[in-house]
Amino acid sequence: MNTSVRRRLAVASLAAVVVAATATACGSSSSDGSSGSKAAGGTYTVWDPYPQFDGASDWVKLLESCGRQAGVKVKRTGFDTTDLTNKTLLAAQQGNSPDVLIVDNPVVSTLAEAGVLTTTDENRISTSQVEPNLLAAGQSGGKTYGTPIGANTLALYYNKDVLKAAGVDPGSVKDWASLNAALAKVKAAGKKGITFSAIGTEEGSFQFLPWLWGSGAQLTDLSSDRAVAAVTLWKDWLAKGYAPHSVINNTQTTSWQEFATGQYAFAENGTWQLANAKKAGFGYGTVAIPAATGGTAPAPTGGEFVTVPVQKNTGRYPVSDKIVSCLTDAKSLLTTDTTLSYVGPTEQVQARQTAASPELEVWVQAVRAAKGRTSDDLGTKYPRISEQLWGAVQAALTGSKSPKDAMSAAQSAGSR
């Protein structure tokens, strides 16, 4: 089946899947920016998920500079993440895709399966310096569709005062047993333990994945003993009073607001809260989320990929490649990732970030251990599995099902 026909057939059926995958952790083209324009000169369109940046921002100035270096004018439009993915599918159906698309990483495999994106073999984007675990989020069927602009992920923030009052050394948190011991001490000292997001949406799955993967379980087998152990860990935290029942409805934002009260020892949250942490009014630190038996648990990678959508005029790809290469060179990435509170996707950029801000070392460690939600060649299977996963976590935490029954039901429904 040729690409254009496959794209038209896939757009409608995949639209709902795309929306589900983008809930966490992004206009149409003018005539001179359409896919039928000449390859050199003219206007090239860029769509991104950063509507918070206006024309005076460093991000837009970078886009315009990269366009000038490529000998073209860049017309940029910023969309909300969900709006962007829906508009991308519609534009592909109409044959009017942007030249460069920056999109949330779980969506990449969905757009690739719909025939919307070119591979790096086709568009000649270099990915040789990118960390393999981050690049995996944009791979499907053995092919790579774009390159990451940066990554964020999860770790545990801690309140220094609360831990000191409880006699807990944050450096002692190395595995689930030591974390549980720390929480027990915090509760005994009359303080609150840990807050996180277990809401019945993609955010809930996103926050649960480090514990699932950290147990040694896989998304393809939610009913395994290890997966059940991960849900049981959270269930026990609520039962013992280590975590509040509000986590069942917490988003990552409301979970952070609980931590910001200064009453909690730990909060599971992401790099995007670093600025808020510095304004919290109390001393804080971060430790990597521990795996069950020790080491850093793989946390899901957030962040976007820079991709090149399919164009009728393939002669446009070389210029698009120049724009993407400019956006993702080391200097540009360092500036962009600092603005977005991302960890760089290459070792070179990561080294520069930690040299400038040593406190980012924990986040670099977490990103290096991180894993794409659509990795393991799950692709478009992930949103269906994730929906069953967050439902199972909700069922276990509310007590409507035991952890074992909840995960068994999730596995049965997700594998259909």
Q: Which two tokens stand for residue 382?
A: 């992930």
Q: Is the pLDDT of residue 34 over 60?
A: no
pLDDT, mean over the chain: 90
Element (H, E) at 101: strand 100-104
Contact 369, 297 (CB under 8 A): yes
Q: Determine the average pLDDT of the residues in 162-166.
A: 98
Tell me the fold of 154-299+378-414: D-Maltodextrin-Binding Protein; domain 2 (3.40.190)
In the chain, where the domains are located: 3-151+302-369, 154-299+378-414
Architecture of domain 3-151+302-369: 3-Layer(aba) Sandwich (3.40)
Q: Is the pLDDT of residue 393 over 80?
A: yes
- pLDDT-derived band at 377 (thresholds 50, 70, 90) equals confident
Q: Which two tokens stand for residue 137?
A: 């989020």
Burial code (b: 16+ CB inside 10 Å, e: under 16) for 217-247 equals bebeebbbeebbbbbbbbbebbeeebbbeeb
Q: Determine the average pLDDT of the residues in 259-268.
A: 98
Q: How far apart are CA 245 and CA 141, in angstroms?
A: 41
- pLDDT above 90: percentage of residues in the chain: 84
Q: Count CB neighbours of 122 within 10 A.
A: 15
Q: How far apart are CA 91 and CA 217, in angstroms?
A: 38
**Whole-model pTM?**
0.85
Determine the residue type at 155. A
Residue 20's pLDDT is 42
Answer yes or no: same fold for 3-151+302-369 and 154-299+378-414. Answer: yes
Burial (0-12, 13-18, 19+ Cβ within 10 Å), 184: middle
Cα-Cα-Cα-Cα dihedral of 398, 403, 405, 406, to 10°?
A: 60
Q: Is the pLDDT of residue 13 over 80?
A: no
Residue 416's pLDDT is 64
> What digits encode the pLDDT tens for the residues 235-244?
999 999 999 9
Phi, psi (rounded to 5 degrees) for 23: -70, -15
Contact 111, 145 (CB under 8 A): yes
Q: How far apart are CA 267 and CA 85, in angstroms?
A: 30
